[in-house]
Amino acid sequence: MNQHVVNHLPNGARLAVQQVLRSFLSHGGLAGLFVTGSMARGLPEPDDLDLVAIWDDPLSDDDRGRLVASCRGNHVGDPDTDRFHLHGVVPEFHFMAGKQQVADMLADFCWKSEPPPESDADRAEGLLASLADALPVHDPECLAHSWQKMLNEDYPDEYRRRRVHEQYTAACRRLAHLCRCGAQRDVLYRLRGRLEFIEYLVKALVSLNRTFYWGPKWNQAQLDRLRLKPDNMWERVSRTMSGRPNLPLPAMRSLALDTGSLIRLNLPGVDISFSTSIIQQISP
């Protein structure tokens, strides 16, 4: 056990990780157990304990069910999911896979010329983000180190260009749609549109910074870690998402144009001229 990692977890999470690790080791074939998500990033109030388990060989569904049940013990859980409380936290098993499955996922998703199906891109990126942030609790083969080197140091340019273009285009389209018909829609629709615009924009910035999207729980501390981002990014995002019912179109337009300038400066091979032309037509 990596005692250094375990000792720095909150007390309930530390006890839960120890119990999960004991259960998994008793099964045999555990190649790695990693803490990831908000707990690994040290966020002040994580709401669950995100775990990634890697096995020498892939698990069957029955094996997975038995392993989760062995961790749960006498604790009552939701019969339709893996969720249960353990020492005051909710262990959440992001994925449990064989070593070769993970190696194939990394190769297929990032380094082959064929991009993954669009419907799989966000899910796969979520798994990659889990590995990129993971803290190893049990990792005798140093799997986490080798994968994180691949993800963080050898981040593929083709993947970066594709994701920045996709997400920035989606943000601009969402903003143009809000400008065109948002005023005629209800408050909830407009708030959802703002959130989608910001999410697409953040995804573009995360890829621009050669990293992976950390899911919907992003916050100021995570945004501050990005080197390439518009000035005063968090304050501008906060203003955009404020509770006022009217659409803050000038602030959203400015944020989109500044992000476009960063993309042109740092990824000159990505053509975003059509997307920025849409935004420039919005009155400041």
Number of structural domains in the chain: 2
Tokens 């803290």, residue located: 135
Co-location of 140 and 162 in the same domain: no
Domain residues for the domain of 171 are 157-280
> pLDDT by residue (tens digit) across 79-135?
555 667 888 888 888 778 888 888 887 777 665 555 555 556 667 777 788 888 889
Integer Cα distance of 250 and 16 in angstroms: 48
pLDDT digit string, tens, across residues 49-79: 889 999 999 888 888 888 888 887 755 555 5
Rounded to whole angstroms, the Cα distance separating 15 from 12 reads: 5
If asked whether residues 8 and 149 sit together in one domain, one would say yes
Q: Are residues 129 and 166 in the same domain?
A: no
Clarify whether residues 48 and 25 are in a common domain.
yes
Q: Are 70 and 172 contained in the same domain?
A: no
Among 64, 66, 59, residue whose Cα is nearest residue 98: 59
Of the residues 110, 127, 153, which one is the last residue of a structural domain?
153
Beta carbons within 10 angstroms of residue 211's beta carbon:
21
**Interacting residues of 42 by C-beta distance below 8 A, sequence separation 6+:** none
Give the pLDDT band of residue 273 (cuts 50, 70, 90): very high
In this structure, the answer to whether residues 25 and 118 fall within a common structural domain is yes
DSSP state of 56: S
Q: How confident is the model at residue 45 (pLDDT cuts 50, 70, 90)?
A: low
Both 253 and 113 in a single domain? no
91 & 226 share domain = no
Among residues 110, 136, 153, the one where a domain terminates is 153
Distance CA 64, CA 77 (A): 15
Helix axes 249-266, 157-181, angle to 10 degrees: 160
Exposure on the CB side of residue 97, measured as CA atoms within 13 A = 14
Helix (H, G, I), strand (E, B) or coil at 277: helix
DSSP secondary-structure letter at 44? S
- Residue at which a domain ends, from 114, 135, 153: 153
* Packed helices 249-266 and 233-240: angle between N→C axes, nearest 10 degrees: 140
User: How does pLDDT run across 184-202, given as a tens digit for each residue?
Assistant: 777 788 888 888 999 999 9
Q: Identify whether residues 18 and 148 lie together within a single domain.
A: yes
| CATH number of the CATH domain containing 75 | 3.30.460.10
Same domain membership, residue 35 and residue 22? yes
